[in-house]
Structure 1
Amino acid sequence: MSQSATLLDTRSPFGTYPAERLVRAAWRLADRHDLSRGLRKRIRALVARVFKGPYDLEADGLKFRIYPGENYDDRKILAKGRLPERAEHGLLEPHLDEGTVFVDVGANIGSYAVFAARHGAKVVAIEANPQTAHKLSFNVRANDLENVTVVNSAVGSKEDTLPLWHEPSNCGFATFVTDLTTGEWAGNWTPTYVTVRPLTDIADQQGLERIDILKVDVEGYEDRVVLPFLRHADKAMWPRVILLETNCRPYWSEDCLSELASRGYEVTGRTNDNMVLELSA
């Protein structure tokens, strides 16, 4: 593979980097869960060196330029030929309609944002990692979507500048929680200092008068996105539906779920990694 094919490319037109049959077969092998975790990890490392990307492909009718050597979501799209987190998309789909306001905090490469926009939603896709935000913007353009605004910012309780820790094999798993960079997820983590802003400020800047659906996936920082927003925003701005990642719940500084329940949110759906909560009337 040429060196140029391993670099970030957000200028070449979609279709420049086709995912050939050998590429797909290699990543399907690397994603085989009937193999032991250790063997799968070694295969993935080898495949990532040879078939790092980028590649252009369609999944569920949506276009993505992916870098499977660098991102879990990209690997899943390439290996399975469909969007990841299909169960979560199924839970959200009944709430998506023309004009629905969808705010995606931790948008990654856009598997939720592009999906929601294709259903007619007005999307504000917020991504802290600058390089990932460039990839997200490319995917939005590749799908000719004019109803998505990409905001390159982190979200927290106050304006700040903080180190966002990321690991080269999965840039989508970026976190402010340093405890997540050890133990099970130990790796070659490095920090990028990013701007942090409250969600209320971003919503004001985007001229939002309501948020119908709020999706939050920020690797253990979900409580510091959701709770300050609910405490400071007018109740009319409270999302009617929240998709909240809960697999890093032990790293929250506050119990998000108990406060959401006290404010009238009920759990109406769940998967292994996420919960859907709806605001009761």
Structure 2
Amino acid sequence: MNSIAPHVDTQSPFGTYQAGDAVRFMWRLADQHKFRQSLRKFFRRISARFYAGPYDTEVEGLRFRIYPGENYDDRKMLAKGRLPEKQEHKFLQELLKQGETFVDVGANVGTYSLFAAKAGMKVVSLEANPVTASKLQFNADANGMDDLTVIVCGAGAQEGTLNLWLEPTNSGFATMVKDLTTGQWAGDWRPVEVQVRPLDALLRDAEVETVDLLKIDVEGFEDRVLLPFLRGRTQEAWPRVILLETNCRDFWEEDCLQVLEECGYRVHAETQDNLVLVR
């Protein structure tokens, strides 16, 4: 099936691509942390070569068309049979309120956006990578989520264009911080020019006035999204909850956590990669 499947298919109906036992076995093998890292990478290369996707799968009651050969979140869903970032979803679950607005900056393929939409929230998903955004839109349509809006644009401090750096083995780990592409995360990074606008302007154009929950995961660019957004709004218009990725905080130009504390946000939950803050 994979040999004749298009690389990215957002037209065929959900259910077109089925992951057989061999596919699931190989990706589970590649995800076995009892193996040393070099061996996991070997299994991942083999799996990506022969079982890159697409595959259609249901995870926690949500439908996804996944491409495990090029996306970490897709690999996790196929290998684990659940949404990635399990602890974060657990913490967020108790904070989701039907009818409120969830804004997802760096939405990737929608593991958070669809999760919030399933809980009855109005969702606005920002994804700068047009290819990834098309996958996200397919996943939203496959779940019949009419109250989920996908905006294909990057968020930043000012309007313009920037290079979005992409690594082919993990399209969800895209960054506008060129310094991040060396050292620990060195790889075959390639830039694509994308439009960038302030978050408040994007939401205003989408006629979104209230942001109740805000999730930002943009690989070291979080400060340039979040801080101008907060400073451009009154305190009454600040989000009730912020889910902020912190594993690339060394690349921030300004310390988001100090500013958030001064704004009255307190840590509700913490994981290795993220903070959930409540005001």
State TM-score, norm by structure 2: 0.98
Q: Distance in 2 between matches of 1:206 and 1:238?
A: 17
Matched letter for residue 270 of structure 1: E
Q: Is the 8 A contact 2:155 2:197 kept in 1?
A: yes
- The answer for the alignment partner of 1:47 in structure 2 is 47
Q: Which residues of structure 2 form unaligned runs of 5+? A: none
- The answer for the alignment partner of 2:194 in structure 1 is 194
Matched letter for residue 221 of structure 2: Y
Secondary structure at the aligned position of 2:82 is classed as: coil
Q: Which residues of structure 1 form unaligned runs of 5+? A: none
Matched letter for residue 136 of structure 1: L
Note the 1:2-151 alignment, pairs <5 A. Answer: 2-151=2-151
Q: Is the 8 A contact 2:211 2:238 kept in 1?
A: yes
1:269 partnered with 2:269: yes
Q: Distance in 2 between matches of 1:86 and 1:237?
A: 29
Give the superposition deviation at 1:201: 0.2
Give the superposition deviation at 1:3: 4.1
> Cα deviation per residue 1:102-144 (whole Å; 9 max; x = unaligned)?
0000000000000000000000000000000000000000001
Q: Is the 8 A contact 2:2 2:50 kept in 1?
A: no
Give the superposition deviation at 1:2: 4.7
CA pair 212-2 structure 1, distance change in 2 beyond 3 A: closer
CA pair 231-19 structure 1, distance change in 2 beyond 3 A: same
Q: Is the 8 A contact 2:103 2:213 kept in 1?
A: yes
Give the superposition deviation at 1:46: 1.1
Q: Share of identical aligned residues, percent?
A: 57
- The answer for the alignment partner of 1:222 in structure 2 is 222
Q: Distance in 2 between matches of 1:5 and 1:78?
A: 18
Q: Distance in 2 between matches of 1:213 and 1:253?
A: 24
Give the superposition deviation at 1:199: 0.6
State TM-score, norm by structure 1: 0.97
Q: Is the 8 A contact 1:210 1:236 kept in 2?
A: no
Q: Is the 8 A contact 1:216 1:245 kept in 2?
A: yes
Give the superposition deviation at 1:209: 2.0
> Cα deviation per residue 1:237-265 (whole Å; 9 max; x = unaligned)?
21010000000011101000000100111
Return 179-188 or 125-134, whichever deviates more.
179-188
Q: Distance in 1 between matches of 2:165 and 2:254?
A: 21
- The answer for the alignment partner of 1:211 in structure 2 is 211
